Amino acid sequence: MTREEKLEYLALLEEKAERLEKYRYKTLGERLYPFQRELVKATSTHSQVMLMAANQIGKTFSGTYIDAIHAMGQYPDWWDGHTFDKAPLLWLLGYSGVKCRDLLQNPIFGRRIENKWQGGLIPPEYILDHESMIGTPNAMQSVYVRHGGGGDVQYQTSKVQLWSYSQGQHALMGDKVDWFHIDEEPKDQQIFPQVLIRTTNGDQGNGGRGILTFTPENGRTDLVIQFMDTPGDGQYLIRAGWDDAPHINEKVKQTMLASIPPHQREMRTKGVPMLGHGRIYDLSEEYITCEPFEIPDHWMVIDGMDFGWDHPQAQVQLAIDMDTETIYVTHAWKQRQVSPDEAWGATKIWSKDVPTAWPHDGNQTEKGSTKQQKSYYSKAGFNMLSDHASWPDGGNGVEAGLFEILDLMRKGKFKVFKGLRAFFDEFLQYHRDDKGRIVKTNDDVLDGVRYAYMMRRFAVRKGDVGKPKIVKANPIPTAHRW
């Protein structure tokens, strides 16, 4: 190539790089993490989607990417989230005018330099006009965006409004909102209800929708409890931590972890709300986690079950190392509104022929039938023990089980296979209220564990599972009622 040809080629490469950066929204979807793709998809089926996540994993970016796509109406081919046929009104909310500018406005629209927009997800030619926010330099109250989602020959115009919580709930009145993005949880618990009211007639009368992206620094607030424990029909919760964001390498994790106060580590690294009152199992996830391994045939196994419908049905399996008197949780599964046959289909690969402990309400007789609840699970395929879970003396006290399991955990004799999120999501939130009572929500898997632990005297050798056998008690000498 001649020098002139090389210069021309270099100019073309630079122009290509500039175009790729300018229109990067077109290819960013290919690099989204699974939890970010889940956030997109959940907006198609739920009107309120909460991403409760750790720090520095890209939770705000997850939201601003979706915001930008809705504002432009430029939906990529893979998009499986909600779409707007008409240019929407979007509300983006943050702590303050500065936070709205730095965390929401700048990533979406970029900075305004010499009367030109630069560096945002939305290309400058799509930004039609703006109105400044009073009191915060370079912050916008409203931005108008060319929307390509309509069917008219002339383009439509989306309106993006940015609100700070410091403006108060009374500022959030009057409009029919199509889409909202609440970034970081407001301490004023009336902000979210006010935003929801504004969505009632949004999206052409179908009702607006939106997302919440935050790290739960305020603890188990009413809003967090609602999504975690008693979600409504239109609500969906996504949890994500450092392990869900591969861009944070292990060295950085260790460095950051060392600087985080111990009582904040679960919140900062896993997105777990800090509890106002005591956790029952007050240990870190890492302390009881172990890598999965093949259970030896001479170890004992037993399953535990907690019945459910409105709250999840849960099934767990414990493996017991007789030599070291150590218990391992090797399987954990739960699902809301599933039949006994569906529960069996989901767990039979590991629960087939393993004795299953169950709670006393399994003895309840269904109205209009003479059958007990446990009989439906026996018919489905589960190897239900003949009697409900109890201690060897016949009692079924809860506190004794909690104390013994916690004691084993602290001694390193209770381990859980890595990756059992059904267990750990409950483990990290299991707590008492301000009167010392156990909070009986989101504890289905933990109850299953406790039932199996109580009945471990009926565990069988793994190598004997599926073989003809006589069920008998297998006492194990230890201080923990073995």
Residue 362, domain CATH: 3.30.420.280
Residue 46 has pLDDT above 80, yes or no: yes
From 270, 298, 321, the end of a domain falls on: 270
Catalytic residue among 15, 114, 184, 291: 184
User: pLDDT value at position 147?
Assistant: 94
Say yes or no to pLDDT of 151 above 50.
Answer: no
Residue 479 included in any domain: no
Considering the domain architecture, whether residues 243 and 113 belong to the same structural domain is answered as yes
Question: HEC profile for the chain?
Answer: CCHHHHHHHHHHHHHHHHHHHHCCHHHHHHHCCHHHHHHHHHCCCCCEEEEEECCCCCHHHHHHHHHHHHHHCCCCCCCCCCCCCCCCEEEEEECCHHHHHHHHHHHHHEEEECCEEEECCCCHHHEEEEEECCCCCCCEEEEEEEECCCCCCCCEEEEEEEEEHHHCHHHCCCCCCCEEEEECCCCCCCHHHHHHHHCCCCCCCCCCEEEEEECCCCCCCHHHHHHHHCCCCCEEEEEECHHHCCCCCHHHHHHHHHHCCHHHHHHHHHCCCCCCCCECCCCCHHHHEECCCCCCCCCEEEEEEECCCCCCEEEEEEEEECCCCEEEEEEEEEECCCCHHHHHHHHHHHHCCCEEECCHHHHCECCCCCCEHHHHHHHHCCEECCCCCCCCCCCCCHHHHHHHHHHHHHCCCEEEECCCHHHHHHHCCCEECCCCCECCCCCHHHHHHHHHHHCHHHCEEHHHCCCCCCCCCCCCCCCCCC
Residue 473 lies in a domain: no
Q: What is the mean pLDDT of the chain?
A: 89
Residue 98 pLDDT: 95
From 270, 301, 320, the end of a domain falls on: 270
Best CA proximity match to 124, nearest among 18, 231, 274, 217? 18
CATH number, residue 235:
3.40.50.300
Q: How confident is the model at residue 221 (pLDDT cuts 50, 70, 90)?
A: confident
Residues 247 and 310 in one domain: no
Give domain status of residue 3, yes or no: no
Say if residue 185 is in the same domain as residue 321: no
Q: Identify whether 291 is part of a domain.
A: yes
The residue whose two tokens read 């990067």 is 24
Type of residue at 101: R
- The neighbouring-strand residues paired with 117 are 112
Q: Rounded to an integer, what distance in angstroms lies between the CA atom of residue 472 and that of residue 356?
A: 14
> Among 65-79, 258-272, 277-291, 463-477, whose mean pLDDT is lowest?
463-477
- Please check whether residues 70 and 213 belong to one and the same domain: yes
- The pLDDT, as a whole number, for residue 366 is 56
Task: Say whether pLDDT at 320 is over 90.
Answer: yes
Interval 440-476: pLDDT, tens:
888 999 999 999 999 999 999 999 998 875 555 565 5
Tell me, yes or no, whether 108 and 248 share the same domain.
Answer: yes
- d(CA 95, CA 90) in angstroms, rounded, equals 17
Query: Does 443 lie in the same domain as 315?
Result: yes
Q: Are residues 231 and 305 in the same domain?
A: no
Residue 476 belongs to some domain of the structure: no
Is residue 342 flagged as an active site residue?
no
340 shares its domain with 235: no
pLDDT at 436 (0 to 100): 72
**234 and 317, same structural domain?**
no
Confirm whether 240 is domain-assigned.
yes
Do 196 and 307 lie in one domain? The reply is no
Q: Is 296 a domain residue? A: yes
- Which of 209, 236, 270 terminates a domain? The answer is 270
Query: Total structural domains in the chain?
Result: 2
Least confident interval from 8-17, 207-216, 406-415: 8-17
Containing structural domain, residue 298: 285-464
Assign 229 a pLDDT band (cuts: 50, 70, 90).
confident
Residue 38's Cα: distance from chain center in Å? 10
* Alpha-carbon span 432 to 389, nearest angstrom: 23
Please state, in angstroms and rounded to a whole number, the distance separating the CA atoms of residues 84 and 306.
42
**Residue 275 pLDDT class (50, 70, 90 cuts):** low
* 363 and 325 fall within a common domain: yes
Whether 215 is covered by a domain: the verdict is yes
The pTM assigned to this predicted structure is 0.63
pLDDT tens across 83-112, in order?
999 999 999 999 999 999 999 999 999 999
- The one-letter amino acid at 106: N
315 and 359 part of one domain? yes
